[in-house]
Structure 1
Amino acid sequence: MESKIPHEFNKFYLKDVTFANLMMRRIYSVLIVANPYDVFMLEDDGRVEEKIYNEYMELGLRYPPTFTQVSTTNEAAKVLNTTNIDLVICMPGNADNDAFTVARDIKGLFSDIPCVVLTPFSHGITKRMQNEDLSIFDYVFCWLGNTNLILSIIKLLEDKMNLEHDIKESGVQMILLVEDSIRFYSSILPNLYNYILAQSKRFATEALNRHQSTLRMRGRPKVVLARTYEEAMNIYKKFADNCIGVISDARFPMKEMSPKENVLQPSPLRDSAVYKDPEAGLKLLRAIRERDEYVALIMESAECKYREKAEAESFHFVDKNSKTMSLDLRRIMEEHMGFGDFIFRDPTTHEEVMRIRSLKELQDNIFKIPNASMLYHVSRNHMSRWLSARAIFPVSQFLKNVTWHKLQDVDAHRQIIFDAIVKYRHMKNIGVVAVFDRMKFDRYAHFARIGDGSLGGKGRGLAFLDNIVKMHPEFNQYHGASVQIPKTVVLCTDIFDQFMEQNNLYQIALSDAPDEEILKHFLRAQLPDSLIADFFTFFDATKSPIAVRSSSLLEDSHYQPFAGIYNTYMIPNTADKYMMLQMLAAAIKSVYASVYYRDSKAYMTATSNVIDQEKMAVILQEVVGHQYENHFYPNISGVLRSINYYPVGNETAEEGIASLALGLGKYIVDGGQTLRVSPYHPDQVMQTSEVETALRETQTQFYALDMSDVGSDFKVDDGFNIMKLKVKDAEHDKSLNYIASTFDTYDQIIYDGLYEGGRKIISFAGVLQQEIFPLPELLQMSMKYGSCAMRRPVEIEFACNINEDKTGELYLLQIRPIVETKGVLETDITKIPDDGCLLRSHNSLGHGVSDDVVDVVYVKYDDNFSAMNNYYVADDIERINRKFLAAGKNYVLIGPGRWGSSDHYLGVPVKWPHISAARIIVELALKNYHVDPSQGTHFFQNLTSFGVGYFTIDCNSESGGFIRKDVLDAMTAIEETDYVRHVKFDKPLKIMVDGIKQEGAVVINES
């Protein structure tokens, strides 16, 4: 019968734990007050500071405390008045000035500082302590010269200081120790802490890198010491939901006694109403069991008669007299508090069925465990307890509520446990650069590094993107739409250094040899053999083509443009893993070689960087897409910019712009025809607004990876195995669902969607206008959070798969700050005086500064201008433009009406090739010829692709900008026709465009 999971367990959310926020309150400095002999013993024989330091380092703990040692109360007071002390430890003193006297004096002067008394145990001291008021001291311990006790005291106090905060913050667990015997808790605490801290080192291996491993140890269970029944119950009631176990003595002080019960000796706490109750331990454990049927309850006693009573009520028992007492206690804690490995047992024979050492092992084996064993452990909540002890709180808290009473279905429990682990591992992987571990990296793993060097620019960008996604769960708020980065492994820069040195490649690399020769030497070199097993693990986890991308130290730098200089190769996925290994190795070596190609060296020189300072990390990343016969590609690739220097209509510069294309993103990088859309205005796509424009300016070709090109014969050209296909091929692949429209040749109209016959237009109408997939909203979030996190405009590369069922995945591939290469605009254009300008526009497109243009070509016009001759104007300008193209120069183009209009009455009917050498295009609105501005819509793609500025000036309005035509008319013409003049300035004009404020000016250089 199929297992049915109730609705309440189908949908669950796991809140991540930030271990860095735990154990925030620490004991950093300890003052030890001891007589000269004990000080000497501590320093020379005990070496307490060294031992504590070594203990901390061995356990991977940070911030070991420092110790100050004094011998008298006066010395102690001097230190306490001048230094921040977190803990005072008073050790055995002189005959007339013992530890209690010293501690009482210090506590009287500094009541807020924790004070602990260490005392040797003898019959005389025991007798004296019965009459001492010990309540003013935080703790009294039995001192036998064991420095481990001092570590335990520090940990016990730190646990007490952080208990409430850490439980509320993250659900940290607690072990409650109930014991009033000073001698016994002084003995058990070092053993207990030793065991718990050693266990925390083991569960820290669940972390994904060393830093997280250290932080994760802060999530260990805390130990809380209670010395009376009332104290124990108060602590338990307050933190019951986070208690994984109670270790209790049999007899200890308790107020609530029956009159018939024997009155025993008074407690050391000097409260005359409190006496030791011989049944206090049993009463406490019974009360706790009533509240929680699963919590581990252990009784320890030196009186054997309590064993039978404890075990009769299913409490575990430890004999204090046993020589193996500490081992017995550890065994019970391991079995019943979730420490150590999880051992699945046969409920009948109690024999071991399976041993689980890690979360991944539990995930891999949960469906293999026999039903009877699974039922035994699930019905006792063992799984939740084991996860709690390993600080995997989100899953343990969730599973704790899925009790056997609520869901009596073994298979349902299996599925719920599996789903919760997968969700947790996915959550923990996001935003973290894990150290690659073959035992942990699987299809649920996410981002890992091999090596200890830098991730490089792209690698850092990817890790940053991953963290942005993690910090903003709203990315995944839409049903059927997920946002993530692809599965990624980075070979850090130290692997590159090792490869270069071991293969002695620097000589050929830094030479002037041709690129092909350099590549040949690199392909012959050997990568470290240690990578082979890692690569095989990555293949098994990925099961898709792999992109091998450069990630140099300088790429995607915050301060300089350095993108697109090195190569990116793609290798197909094959069943033959050794063939894939050969291809992957060749691709990595080819990326390394590209650092030293001629173009790279030239770019290094141009950007004032030194080639031998450059180091290369390599990103291995699953390629986004689907396989269609012998090729592979995604439905959508794109580049998103958080600032738009060519806003049209009601778009604004700050709303950003996206370029979308079918197929691999290389098509966009190579300058292919893409669809330009603002994510905030997805229904306003200029290229599909008119039939003629849509047919002319939408994508007709796309790129795909050739899955049949298998081999390690790599070329300098990283696109050697990339296929250029036609949209018709995508139609055959059935990959155009929701991203294409159909042109009906009979009706001369474009219909959104796929229909029989007719040319297919890549319009992305399904995702942009029909809301099949929330791409616009996800791109808005990507821009908003990306630019906010980087504190500057960003460019983000992405790819997207849209499935037949309208679900989809958006993969963010890269983020880099936008660094303009066309000159940095440092001047506020509005502050430039009018008399220094040739023209000014308050409605400008484009961005940047240029100062290498001296020529102006303008249409001759006056107050009686007529558009009748605009065809002739177009002919003249086309001819002049050819001359500029031949000379490799640019000019400023000025004229009335709309440039590129098909209606010559609205403007000059030029095509883009006729004006392609223009650096700035200016359209004028005249008094008797007032045409609404076009903003260059007729050749908008070319304007944005070539970075051409477009100014609109309305001569009829004071706020519409101006042009000093008198200056142009007064100049000698280089060439003049009936309709057009070409003039030349002696010094270059300074062309300035502020794409954010949409201000533009052409400044005359008169210096």
Structure 2
Amino acid sequence: MTTDDSNVTNGTPVRPQKTKMPTTPLRSVTPAIDIYIKLAQYPILCDQIRMRMREELFRRGIITQAEFEREVKEKAIESQRREGLYDPFSQEDAHIWQKRKERIRDFHTDAYFADNLGSALLDQIIQEVLSNQPAPTDSVELTFNPEIAPWELLFRQGEIYEAMPPPEQEKVKHHLEEIKVVLIKRMISDQLPFIAVAKRMFDIADLRRIYRRRIGTGKIGGKAAGMVLAWKILQQSAPEIGPDISQWVDIPDSYFIGSEVIYDFRLMNRLDYLMNQKYRPLDEIREQYPSIVEAHLRGNFPEDIVEQLREVLRQVGKNPLIVRSSSLLEDNFGFSFAGKYSSYFCPNQGTEEENLEALLMAIKKVYASSLNPDAILYRQHHGLIDYDERMAILLQKLKGEQYGRYFFPTIAGVGFSQNPFRWHPKIRREEGFLRMVWGIGTRAVDRVDNDYPRMVSLSHPQLRPETSAKAIRQYSQWYIDLIDLEENTFKTLPVDEVLDENYPYLRYIASIDKGDYLQEIFSTASLEPGDRFVLTFDYLLKDHKFVKLMRTALMRLEREYKTPVDTEFTVEIIPNYPYPDYKLNLLQCRPLSQRSESGPVEIPRDIPAEDVLFTAKELIPDGQVDDIRYVIFVDPEKYGEIPEQSIKLELGRVIGRLNKALENEVFIIMGPGRWGSANLELGVRVTYADIFNTKILVELGLEKDGRVPELSYGTHFFQDLVESGIYSLAIQLGQPGNSLNWAFFRESPNMLAKFSPGDAHLGEYLRVIDIASVTNNRRLRVLMDGTHDEAVGYLVTGNWSLDEEQGTISMF
């Protein structure tokens, strides 16, 4: 900054001389430099000090505020020219221009003050600002604005209020509530339903613990927020809320990467241009996503973040980690984003540098997943596309124990406070539902191949959907997900390769397969060589202590959230005499999406047999869909005969194109086995993006090698269907009460070429049936009676015109 060093003459203020940029040589003035150096000792307070300096300049009439700002703007423009910007409106962003003006304003303030008022007055201003610094007080009145107060001031003031005797605390409870709300909004969530619960549950010590575990700046995200809130709810103890389970509930040792770090990462690696990716057409988003992932993987992190992560690894030692997404919208009230973003396991068994590199790579992959096509489409479909979705990261020590070379939890799964299925009239929905597995819980929340988690109704935990020993054996868990410590990797292995008679918790989770029956293990001493085990979890589900813990936790969370919830959990079995104890570890908790219920569905008993297109029995939801004109039908038998995997893969893409082509129609999709399975042998590989316009997704179960594919209930895929108002219905072909009118679906004219001409060559496997054109303008109605566990799809007559495009849907 160039200034004039002459004295004040005849009472006329000395102004910094204007220079002719860029030809005039730069000069400096000692008083101005002295002020600059003095203010540099107050890096945070200097803004307040300079504001007071300007107030004195304006108050004493040395210069008006308007004239001062005019000179600042002129000098800012001159500085642009000096730096080679000759078209500043297009060459410089607005926020850079503001930063430029702020710096010029500071330099200009120093120069004016040095030439006209001097250092003595500056010292007075500095002392004045220092004396006005906010500080904690034990006064009843709050002497600072919490919204702009420093972190430590908020924590200390909150601690002072909480330490007051009850009569005094009553006088300041509104101030304490405000401080907690400010801390929650800054650090955890600004979602009002969440804040309403959290401010009642958290104390200042809880919030300080979260703050100390935060890496970088920003919020900790929805998944982390839901986990810590659920834990705090279950730590409450009072006679009116029921039994005290606080000592039997915990959460994993966790760290939180703040939601602002992804901005720093993308800015540092020139990836900020991706912010508008969400507005591109879906085809472009899909096409560009692989390159976006690669760009993230090549990126680097700020050094301070790397050092903090290095310290985290030192603290967790050799314990495996899971790196989980925790976006600001994730696990929100109404929108769970279940399975939309990625999580990755870090076995953490290498050298310090190898473990750090693996951790950084996992974080980059989670960041990239925020731009995956399914997540963006989900946001579009739910009206959230314009929200600034920032991705925080939840780092958790994996809960479990080492058994030989493997590491895994004894019990893991998902729990729902409301049971979405009734496979028996005795079942009470309000007492909850579990999907349990042995090992890491991925097999409970994801759609996995050739496997069946244990389904548990907590009102009647021993009442299984299956009844015979053969069915129980068939619908049991066959594989386990775990960490192989020796190979430093995540693995899926057959249960019988890991489970043997030496496993310490064998009798709690397994039964002996005796062929015609399954025998409970009363003592491992009674085991014989060659015994085969089936994972039944029968001991746990007979133990009132385990069932009560799970039921109490889910019902209490629902009561505090004031809405049904679903959780992910692990359970530790703690040996004790005469019966074991159990510790529930909450991994996440979120509000559970449910369909609104407006009344029961009653299936008529006089439907003409020739009008019935299909029937289903067992695990039926409650609901009704009317006016269905189109059916997308993938023939399950012909699908199994397809010789090439590429054709099976293409069928999923075709369904995605038909989903778009029929978006203004009422249609359902029917096909083999597990929709969305990664294993093409078990079902058509589709994602949420391929099926979100359908009204019902029907899974046609054909027995293969003695097994029928499992349904999607309780998985992330199932949650997608529920949130989108899509019913999931299974027809177990060959089982009592299940039927399909094969002739109708195979012999009706195929309209595939009309809606997707380029896919007509796949008509042998996939058919689009226009019900109106083959039934004299009738429609399909589907009634689902969950109370009596039965469903029917049948033809009905109405007043439709053949060119009518729209239908209606009645949701129950």
2:540 corresponds to: 767
Q: Secondary structure at the match of 2:364?
A: helix
**Aligned equivalent of 2:460, options 681, 703, 706:** 681
**Aligned equivalent of 1:948, options 707, 721, 729:** 729
Q: Does 1:582 align with 2:357?
A: yes
Q: Secondary structure at the match of 2:260?
A: helix
- Rounded to whole Å, the distance in 2 between the matches of 1:780 and 1:655 is 6
**Aligned equivalent of 2:569, options 785, 793, 798:** 798
- Rounded to whole Å, the distance in 2 between the matches of 1:451 and 1:545 is 22
Q: Secondary structure at the match of 2:262?
A: helix
Count of equivalent residues: 511
2:369 corresponds to: 594
CA offsets per residue over residues 821-866 of structure 1, 9 Å max, x none?
A: xxx556545699999999999998314554575699xxxxxxxxxx
In the TM superposition, what is the alpha-carbon distance from 1:750 to its structure 2 partner? 2.4
In the TM superposition, what is the alpha-carbon distance from 1:55 to its structure 2 partner? 6.3
- Rounded to whole Å, the distance in 2 between the matches of 1:726 and 1:611 is 46
Q: Does 1:498 align with 2:264?
A: yes
CA offsets per residue over residues 729-755 of structure 1, 9 Å max, x none?
A: 132771543433333447754233553
Q: Which amino acid in structure 1 is aligned with residue 269 of structure 2?
A: N
Describe how 1:645-724 pairs up with structure 2 within 5 A: 645-647=420-422, 648-671=424-447, 672-687=451-466, 689-710=467-488, 721-724=490-493
Q: Which amino acid in structure 1 is aligned with residue 481 of structure 2?
A: Y
CA offsets per residue over residues 490-534 of structure 1, 9 Å max, x none?
A: 112111222222221133674856544333322332222223443
- Rounded to whole Å, the distance in 1 between the matches of 2:605 and 2:456 is 35
Q: 1:634 to 1:434 in 2, by over 3 A?
A: same
Q: Does 1:489 align with 2:263?
A: no
Q: Which amino acid in structure 1 is aligned with residue 465 of structure 2?
A: M
Q: 1:746 to 1:584 in 2, by over 3 A?
A: closer
- Rounded to whole Å, the distance in 2 between the matches of 1:62 and 1:851 is 65
**Aligned equivalent of 1:457, options 213, 222, 230:** 222
Q: 1:593 to 1:996 in 2, by over 3 A?
A: farther
Q: Does 1:1006 align with 2:798?
A: yes
- Rounded to whole Å, the distance in 2 between the matches of 1:471 and 1:736 is 30
In the TM superposition, what is the alpha-carbon distance from 1:454 to its structure 2 partner? 2.3
- Asked whether the 8 Å contact 1:854–1:891 carries over to 2, the reply is no
Q: 1:919 to 1:571 in 2, by over 3 A?
A: closer
- Rounded to whole Å, the distance in 1 between the matches of 2:492 and 2:394 is 22
1:270 corresponds to: none
In the TM superposition, what is the alpha-carbon distance from 1:631 to its structure 2 partner? 2.5
1:616 corresponds to: 391
CA offsets per residue over residues 258-280 of structure 1, 9 Å max, x none?
A: xxxxxxxxxxxxxxxxxxxxxxx
Q: Which amino acid in structure 2 is aligned with residue 763 of structure 1?
A: T
- Asked whether the 8 Å contact 1:739–1:766 carries over to 2, the reply is yes
Q: Which amino acid in structure 2 is aligned with residue 636 of structure 1?
A: I
Describe how 1:341-356 pairs up with structure 2 within 5 A: none
1:218 corresponds to: 161
- Rounded to whole Å, the distance in 1 between the matches of 2:235 and 2:152 is 17
In the TM superposition, what is the alpha-carbon distance from 1:727 to its structure 2 partner? 3.4
In the TM superposition, what is the alpha-carbon distance from 1:569 to its structure 2 partner? 0.8
In the TM superposition, what is the alpha-carbon distance from 1:556 to its structure 2 partner? 1.7
Q: 1:577 to 1:855 in 2, by over 3 A?
A: closer
In the TM superposition, what is the alpha-carbon distance from 1:488 to its structure 2 partner? 1.4
Q: Secondary structure at the match of 2:427?
A: coil
- Rounded to whole Å, the distance in 2 between the matches of 1:484 and 1:727 is 30
1:40 corresponds to: none
CA offsets per residue over residues 751-776 of structure 1, 9 Å max, x none?
A: 335533321111112211145xx321
Q: TM-score under structure 1 normalisation?
A: 0.44
- Asked whether the 8 Å contact 1:459–1:490 carries over to 2, the reply is yes
**Aligned equivalent of 1:986, options 762, 777, 796:** 777
Q: 1:1002 to 1:987 in 2, by over 3 A?
A: same
Q: TM-score under structure 2 normalisation?
A: 0.53
Q: Does 1:776 align with 2:547?
A: yes
2:586 corresponds to: 812
Q: Secondary structure at the match of 1:593?
A: helix
Q: Secondary structure at the match of 2:331?
A: coil
**Aligned equivalent of 1:751, options 483, 508, 520:** 520
Q: 1:841 to 1:799 in 2, by over 3 A?
A: closer
- Percent identity between the two aligned chains: 21
- Asked whether the 8 Å contact 2:513–2:534 carries over to 1, the reply is no
- Rounded to whole Å, the distance in 2 between the matches of 1:880 and 1:524 is 44
RMSD: 5.1
- Rounded to whole Å, the distance in 1 between the matches of 2:303 and 2:459 is 50
Q: Secondary structure at the match of 2:365?
A: helix
- Rounded to whole Å, the distance in 1 between the matches of 2:373 and 2:140 is 51
Q: Secondary structure at the match of 1:493?
A: coil
Q: Which amino acid in structure 2 is aligned with residue 521 of structure 1?
A: A
Q: Secondary structure at the match of 1:471?
A: coil
- Rounded to whole Å, the distance in 1 between the matches of 2:333 and 2:264 is 27
Higher strand fraction (1 or 2): 1
- Asked whether the 8 Å contact 1:741–1:762 carries over to 2, the reply is yes
- Asked whether the 8 Å contact 2:218–2:259 carries over to 1, the reply is yes
In the TM superposition, what is the alpha-carbon distance from 1:592 to its structure 2 partner? 0.7
Q: 1:428 to 1:219 in 2, by over 3 A?
A: closer
In the TM superposition, what is the alpha-carbon distance from 1:993 to its structure 2 partner? 4.0
Describe how 1:113-132 pairs up with structure 2 within 5 A: none
Of structures 1 and 2, the larger Rg is shown by 1
Q: Does 1:521 align with 2:295?
A: yes
Q: Does 1:468 align with 2:233?
A: yes
- Rounded to whole Å, the distance in 2 between the matches of 1:54 and 1:842 is 77
- Unaligned stretches of 5+ in structure 1? 1-49, 67-150, 152-204, 223-237, 240-426, 438-447, 711-719, 857-876, 894-911, 922-937, 952-967, 976-981
Q: 1:521 to 1:994 in 2, by over 3 A?
A: same
In the TM superposition, what is the alpha-carbon distance from 1:58 to its structure 2 partner? 2.5
- Rounded to whole Å, the distance in 2 between the matches of 1:709 and 1:1002 is 51
Q: Secondary structure at the match of 1:819?
A: coil
Q: Secondary structure at the match of 2:325?
A: strand
In the TM superposition, what is the alpha-carbon distance from 1:551 to its structure 2 partner? 0.8
**Aligned equivalent of 1:539, options 313, 319, 325:** 313
Q: Does 1:728 align with 2:497?
A: yes
Describe how 1:961-976 pairs up with structure 2 within 5 A: none
- Asked whether the 8 Å contact 1:481–1:807 carries over to 2, the reply is no
- Asked whether the 8 Å contact 2:236–2:246 carries over to 1, the reply is no
- Asked whether the 8 Å contact 2:419–2:433 carries over to 1, the reply is yes
- Rounded to whole Å, the distance in 1 between the matches of 2:602 and 2:551 is 33
- Unaligned stretches of 5+ in structure 2? 1-126, 145-149, 169-201, 278-283, 642-647, 656-666, 672-681, 684-695, 701-706, 719-727, 733-740, 749-770, 800-812
- Rounded to whole Å, the distance in 2 between the matches of 1:695 and 1:56 is 71
Q: Secondary structure at the match of 2:407?
A: strand
Q: 1:943 to 1:802 in 2, by over 3 A?
A: same
2:187 corresponds to: none
- Asked whether the 8 Å contact 1:430–1:466 carries over to 2, the reply is no
Q: Which amino acid in structure 2 is aligned with residue 468 of structure 1?
A: I
Q: 1:63 to 1:473 in 2, by over 3 A?
A: closer
Q: Which amino acid in structure 2 is aligned with residue 801 of structure 1?
A: E
